[in-house]
Amino acid sequence: MTIKADLQLKLTHFAQKGRWNNTLVKIISAHLFWILIISGIVRSVYYSVLLNTTAVDTPSYITFHANILKGETDGRRTPVYPYFIKLIELFGHQNLINHVVTAQIVISFLSIIIFYKVARALFKKQAVIFAASLLYGVMLPVINFDKIIPTESLSVTCCLIFIYMVVSYLQKPGNIKAWMLTLYVFTAIMLRPSFIYLLPLVIAFWVLRLTIFKKDWKMCLSGLAASVVVILLISGYSHLNKKNVGFNGISQVISAAIKSNLNLQQKSAGQRVSGINIMAKYEPERVHSFIINCIKKPTGSLHTIYWR
């Protein structure tokens, strides 16, 4: 008898002793259990050598005071991540950075389960599902994001949730799922404005399905109706920004970075200061578009509409 067969026999015998025994055997026999164990060990080791890292824009997330329920906005920051930080702050203001990092680590670890579910829906071979999920679980760039205070860590999980919702809808379409999938895009945009690209993608998704799968027209129309709601919400948020900070858009990121550098320079009394490296922080295409917009609208150019 092989070692594997002998172990399986012992586990089967142990499982027959009671309901809890059977449940325990099912857990330790599951691929996901071992993926989480291995990923947890690797992540723990890597976290131990990483320092909690703040960025130049971290303070603007922590000091965020706008109350969206009162119609208040901050032109530099959309509200989801600052509110996430404020939620963590309820458990203690001291060592806030450590608490936020811990929360991000937990959320990132749980996202392995979401990735596993997506992999199971996309692949048939257990070996491929196991390998793909484990690769995500121990991927160092993903782990590294967890100890950085800007939105990167939550953004990775946000993308996974979006993919999972799409896969879930494709497996079993429904009106509620169509609405939830589309409205989730607004949440993603309020977390990180660059997720604005998801809106045309999801609209194209519903139009394509409406064209190909005519029998699902009600669900597709639900998705398109939800898309209209998202557009209205974004327009409403942009209007609030215009009202509050004179900026008709979602987030004025490059403008804020330039202003920050100018303020540092003014306070330095002519001495050299290290501000935000615009060309290193933002992609060349974004800087180019910003410059073109400033040329086209020279008046108040630092308030030019630009989505992060």
pLDDT in tens, 22-75: 666 566 667 888 999 999 999 999 999 988 888 777 888 888 888 888 898 888
Q: Which of 18-27, 103-112, 125-134, 141-150 has the lowest mean pLDDT?
A: 18-27
Instruction: Provide the pLDDT for residue 290.
Output: 52
Per-residue pLDDT averaged across 69-89, rounded?
90
Give the helix ranges, DSSP H, for the chain. Answer: 3-15, 19-29, 31-48, 58-62, 80-89, 96-122, 126-137, 140-145, 152-171, 175-191, 198-212, 217-245, 253-267, 278-281, 284-296
DSSP 300: T
- pLDDT-derived band at 138, boundaries 50, 70, 90: very high
- pLDDT of residue 135 exceeding 90, the answer is yes
Sign of torsion over alpha carbons 133, 135, 140, 141: negative
Instruction: Provide the pLDDT for residue 307.
Output: 40
Between helices 284-296 and 253-267, what is the axis angle to 10°?
80
- pLDDT-derived band at 306, boundaries 50, 70, 90: very low
**Number of C-beta neighbours around residue 286 at 10 A:** 17
Q: Which residue has the higher pLDDT, 261 or 299?
A: 261
* Domain locations in the chain as residue ranges: 1-172, 174-249, 253-303
Instruction: Provide the pLDDT for residue 178.
Output: 95
Per-residue CA distances from 55 to 43, 209, 276 (Å): 22, 42, 10
Closest CA to 251 of 238, 264, 267, 269: 238
For the stretch 230-246, pLDDT in tens is 999 999 999 998 888 88
Instruction: Provide the pLDDT for residue 30.
Output: 73
- pLDDT-derived band at 109, boundaries 50, 70, 90: very high
- pLDDT-derived band at 19, boundaries 50, 70, 90: low
Per-residue pLDDT averaged across 108-113, rounded?
96
- pLDDT of residue 247 exceeding 80, the answer is no
Instruction: Provide the pLDDT for residue 147.
Output: 93
Mean pLDDT of the chain: 81
- pLDDT-derived band at 2, boundaries 50, 70, 90: low
Instruction: Provide the pLDDT for residue 298.
Output: 47
- pLDDT of residue 4 exceeding 50, the answer is yes
- pLDDT-derived band at 168, boundaries 50, 70, 90: very high
